[in-house]
Amino acid sequence: MIRFPTGFRARLVFTFTLVAITASVLVATIGFELAKSALVKRAEDTAIDLVTRELNRITFPIGRLRQGEAAPGMSELADLADALDGPGRSVVIEYGDLLHSDGPMTLNDVPNELHGRAKRFVVTQRKVVRNELWLIVGSAVYRDNGQEPEATGLRAFVFFPMRDEQSQLVTLRTTMAQGGGAIVLIALVVALASARQVLRPVGRLSAAAQALGQGRLDTRLPVHGQDELAELTARFNDAAAALELSVSELRSLEAMSRRFVADVSHELRTPLTAMTAVADMLYEEANRLPDAPAEAVRLVLHEIERLRELVEHLIEVSRFDAGTATLSLEPVNVADTIQDCLEVRGWTEQVRVNASRSLVVNLDPSRFDVIVANLVGNALKHGAPPVLVNARGTENGLEVKVRDHGKGIPPEAMPHVFDRFFKAGAGRSRSQGSGLGLSIARANVHLHGGTISVRAQNPGTLFTVWLPHA
């Protein structure tokens, strides 16, 4: 099966070359046929002229004998054959029952059609005899009696070899083939140059589009000429300008949104501090209050804690969005750091840790603490015990796995667990987390240059964190 080129450059070159080949073959074929016809016509005219001239010189009596004339004999026929003979030729003379052959050809080599037509006209025919092409000229001889030409019964057939004409045709064919090859080669070079010239603006457009994709929104191209490519370039510039304006507006809105979140979060910190101080006092008095007020106090304390957590998460998110989050790397004992994280939050009894005491990795300890706390906290809130934390060193980094044994995350929620404010399951109460913990964990992992993934287990859910060696 023939596979045609698919690239624009290849198709352009292929089409241009195909047209050149077709034109060359057509021109060469027509030229060869015209040259062949002219060459054969010249050979026929020359042969007819020679035969006619020699026959007109006949002086011996022929045809109807007049008084005192003797009938021509073999010697006269031989003289006529000698007059018509030449290099490479063969002559056959027929007069009544007399035949004379000068050369290898005989009357049997004369085509019947030519033999019949030669009774009235000077005729020619090409025929391959003994693997060689010959031009046969046949002519009847007429005696001029002053009125109408009188048939004499004498006919001459001259075989002219066409070696020279064939050689010329072979040379012409070879020359035309070489010329056609040269034309095709020139066409190929011109096609490549034309394709390069045509595709140069397309290449510039491709590079400009790639630059746009890489964020260089000020990319523009010079417009040359008034053809379709110039119009396309102008349209590209218009689209790039509109895109730059839209992205600039979006970035401005995004920056305003980030500043708003950061400002609101920081402004909430002050009243939260006061509320937390009051809440601590209320917590000490809650046990002395009646059941209904005590329950209300506990609910307020829980919501204050949830609000504090949300504000801290929003502040952390605003740092990542603003690009101000940085790493402070130092050698960290992984097992000790995980234990400290659990101990501070009172989770030691609820979580089993499997990590080598000698495992030391360069990490940002505070951000690693946030990663572990968010993953373990998520497992404790939304999963079921036992919650397992496994940490091990690999050839190129640190691998930490956190698994719970709860009902697991619904399959349709798996792609969204790291999205901000996403909560799997409509039945979760509004008090169970901010929906930002896993998003913050992923941001801290990415800040280390690592990866984080989630996978369903039977039962439960498995989170895997990989951090490269710093």
Q: What is the pLDDT along the chain (470 residues), one digit of tens a residue?
A: 455 556 677 777 788 788 888 888 888 888 888 888 888 888 889 888 888 888 877 776 665 555 556 667 888 888 888 888 888 889 998 887 888 888 888 888 889 888 888 877 788 999 998 888 999 999 888 776 666 666 777 888 999 998 888 888 888 888 888 888 888 888 888 888 877 777 777 778 888 888 888 888 888 888 877 777 788 888 888 888 888 888 788 777 766 766 766 666 666 667 767 777 777 777 667 677 777 777 777 777 777 777 777 767 666 666 666 666 778 889 999 999 999 999 988 898 999 999 998 899 999 888 899 899 889 988 888 888 889 999 998 888 899 999 999 888 888 888 888 887 777 654 444 445 567 778 888 888 888 899 999 998 888 899 999 999 86
Is the residue at 82 inside a domain?
A: yes
Residue keyed to tokens 């016509």: 41
Q: How many domains is the chain partitioned into structurally? A: 3
Other Cβ atoms less than 10 A from the Cβ of 103: the count is 15
Is the residue at 242 inside a domain?
A: yes
| DSSP H stretches of helix in 287-420 | 291-322, 334-345, 365-382
- The predicted pLDDT at position 467 comes to 92
268, 286: one domain = yes
Residue 430 is encoded by which pair of tokens?
A: 């509004």
- Integer CA distances (angstroms), 218 to 108, 233, 244, in order: 92, 15, 7
Q: Smallest Cα–Cα separation from 110: which of 81, 78, 137, 132? A: 137
**Residue 44 burial (C-beta neighbours within 10 Å; 0-12, 13-18, 19+):** middle
Residue 164 to residue 89: CA distance in whole angstroms: 13
313, 426: one domain = no
371, 294: one domain = no
User: What is the sign, positive or negative, of the torsion defined by CA atoms of 337, 339, 344, 347?
Assistant: positive
Q: What is the 3-state secondary structure (H, E, C) of 88-110?
A: CCEEEEEECCEEEEECCCCHHHC
- Integer CA distances (angstroms), 49 to 58, 83, 134, in order: 15, 13, 17
Is the residue at 420 inside a domain?
A: yes
81, 139: one domain = yes
Residue 56 is encoded by which pair of tokens?
A: 């007109």
- The predicted pLDDT at position 339 comes to 92
**DSSP characters over 209-245:** HHHHHTT-TT------SSSHHHHHHHHHHHHHHHHHH
What is the domain extent for residue 381? 326-468
281, 358: one domain = no
Residue 220 to residue 340: CA distance in whole angstroms: 55
| CATH number of the domain bearing residue 332 | 3.30.565.10
Beta-sheet pairing, 132-144 with 149-161: antiparallel
Cα of first residue to Cα of last residue in the chain, in angstroms, is 54
19, 143: one domain = yes
- SS3 of residue 5 by DSSP: coil
Is the residue at 280 inside a domain?
A: yes
Residue 35 to residue 43: CA distance in whole angstroms: 12
Would you say 342 and 349 are in contact if contact means Cβ atoms under 8 Å apart? no
139, 52: one domain = yes
Is the residue at 194 inside a domain?
A: no
Residue keyed to tokens 């218009």: 238
Would you say 406 and 460 are in contact if contact means Cβ atoms under 8 Å apart? yes
| CATH number of the domain bearing residue 260 | 1.10.287.130
138, 22: one domain = yes
280, 363: one domain = no
- The predicted pLDDT at position 221 comes to 84
Q: How far is C-alpha 185 from the geometric centre of its chain's CA atoms?
A: 25
- The predicted pLDDT at position 401 comes to 94
159, 22: one domain = yes
How many residues does the structure list for the chain?
470
| CATH number of the domain bearing residue 115 | 3.30.450
Residue 136 is encoded by which pair of tokens?
A: 């046969």
238, 301: one domain = yes
> Is there a cis peptide before residue 72, judged by omega within 30 degrees of 0?
no
The DSSP bridge partners found for residue 160 are 135
Is the residue at 20 inside a domain?
A: yes
- The predicted pLDDT at position 427 comes to 42
Is the residue at 216 inside a domain?
A: no
Q: 437-447 and 291-322 are packed helices; what angle lies between their axes, rounded to 10 degrees? A: 30
Spatial CB neighbours of 260, under 8 Å, sequence gap ≥ 6: none
Q: How far is C-alpha 209 from the geometric centre of its chain's CA atoms?
A: 17
For residue 348, the 8-state DSSP code is G
From 265, 292, 321, give the residue that closes a domain: 321
Residue 431 to residue 320: CA distance in whole angstroms: 25
- Angle (CA) 133-134-140 rounded to 5° is 155
417, 355: one domain = yes
Residue 306 to residue 298: CA distance in whole angstroms: 12
**Residue 110 burial (C-beta neighbours within 10 Å; 0-12, 13-18, 19+):** buried
Is the residue at 25 inside a domain?
A: yes
Would you say 44 and 185 are in contact if contact means Cβ atoms under 8 Å apart? no
- Integer CA distances (angstroms), 192 to 10, 125, 179, 331, in order: 9, 50, 20, 60
User: What is the sign, positive or negative, of the torsion defined by CA atoms of 328, 338, 414, 422?
Assistant: negative
The DSSP bridge partners found for residue 133 are 128
From 263, 295, 321, give the residue that closes a domain: 321
From 321, 351, 378, give the residue that closes a domain: 321
